[in-house]
Chains A and B, each alone.
Chain A
């Protein structure tokens, strides 16, 4: 199931690259932003159209519980975690140990210089989008199995939380993201305990602002201005 999601995601990533980036000149960054928003609406609507707007049940990866004394863990969540860690490892290997990864980083830092060194911007970007799509596909399959159902509506709050964690942890820092993820998760449950579920997210957003004021680079980020 996961390899299939990965493949489908990769194909979609490539399609998105061709439809939203390929023909828009690099001098118009806002245009690519807008075209991807259009694509988001289109994909959402295709899903809604195909499922008649109803959430679809999603099979779990594995059944069963893992017991450790007083604590019990859902086995499927552990599988999700392990698959996610494996995907992250694969991404790090790809970025830092392969020629493609070197080219990707070169293109993101100095597109003109990379092109002068003989890299094809188009090919590297297409490959990057394929990888992004594949990772997104894996993430989607994992989220679907963790939540137990699929609907285009489930992703928006998760995306917002994920982005907040990325910023608090420091953009581009993987240990930072892990620490921030644990921190935000703990803070969320604490606020929920103290102030109730409806006010919980306000305080998480305020936490983000506290970080923006005092540590704009995030917990472990090195670049205080962001990118």
Chain B
């Protein structure tokens, strides 16, 4: 049972990480800085609970705010460049943060024990949960309360004017600018929001693993942060959740019985998934179809119409037509 609770905790933290990249990706920016923000959030929150004896929630918020402040500062110079240059700039930032914590010593004697971050050895004894008697189940519920809140906030933001502005910048910067949107402000705000969420993810991560070190926040983590929203699709926050469940639940844990072969299959399945669903697992069309289904569930008349269609085989031929279209596209790609 504890195994599944632990898995749910991992999925929760990775969902937050993915959501932090999701906000930035909406504006069309590919960033590899999320692991750096996560590291800042993790170290700040852990130092506040362990060294300054803060309560958990204020410490997490402070960690998130610290990461957001850094994200804002970094956003201004980094967002002057686009595309590949931005990827390099954010990658360099993430690595600089990691190397900073590799050199960061701040230890305080507590009783007969010295605690605090110690360079390459990392930061041990982040024992807030065990010291306060939290069970694994309580920790899991706590993590998912935060994930749920953040997800709801982004979902709501997505449907509001702010979401439309973010997507407008992501779709076409020139068009967005000519309709009076301040590109720099929007991008820096998205980066700041992403930094805050990544900082939260880092703070939670530090507290449930009880030991963090700079190696936990490397390029692979940054890559996974953008992998979740891209793999899941940028049409809604649930895509990111679906991708995290797919990667962490299925590819990492579900295929564990394959042993060594799991890692081989991991990359191959990502390539396959992107070929089959270039818009993500939950792309715009799937989201629209799900919305239609939900409308059907509410409207009995439309439901009857659909049932009639299925009975007469019309819905089936629609599915066949979709398959045929896909085969045509692939054949066209082969030039046959």
Q: Which residues of A contact B (CB under 8 A)?
A: 19-20, 22-25, 28, 30-35, 37-46, 48-49, 122, 156, 160, 163-164, 166-167, 171, 198-199, 201-202, 205-206, 208-209, 212-213, 216, 224-227
Contacts and interface: CB of A to CB of B under 8 A. Distances in A.
B271 A19 contact: yes
Contact of A167 (B82, B89, B231): B89
Interface residues of B, number: 49
A198 B333 CA distance: 49
B25 interface: yes
Contacts of B78: 209, 212
A227 B92 contact: no
A107 to B, nearest CB: 16
B62 interface: no
Nearest 9 A-B pairs (CB), nearest first?
Answer: A42-B267, A38-B270, A41-B267, A226-B85, A205-B96, A35-B274, A31-B278, A28-B278, A38-B271
A38 B77 contact: no
Contact of A45 (B80, B89, B91, B267): B267
Contacts of B25: 30
B83 A160 contact: no
B88 A156 contact: no
B85 A209 contact: no
Contacts of B80: 212-213, 216, 224-225
6 contacts: A24-B274, A40-B267, A44-B267, A171-B84, A209-B78, A212-B77
B102 A226 contact: no
Contacts of B230: 30-31, 33-34
A176 B206 CA distance: 42
Nearest to B120: A198
A226 B92 contact: no
Contacts of B263: 41, 45, 48-49
A198 B103 contact: yes
B85 A38 contact: no
B264 interface: yes
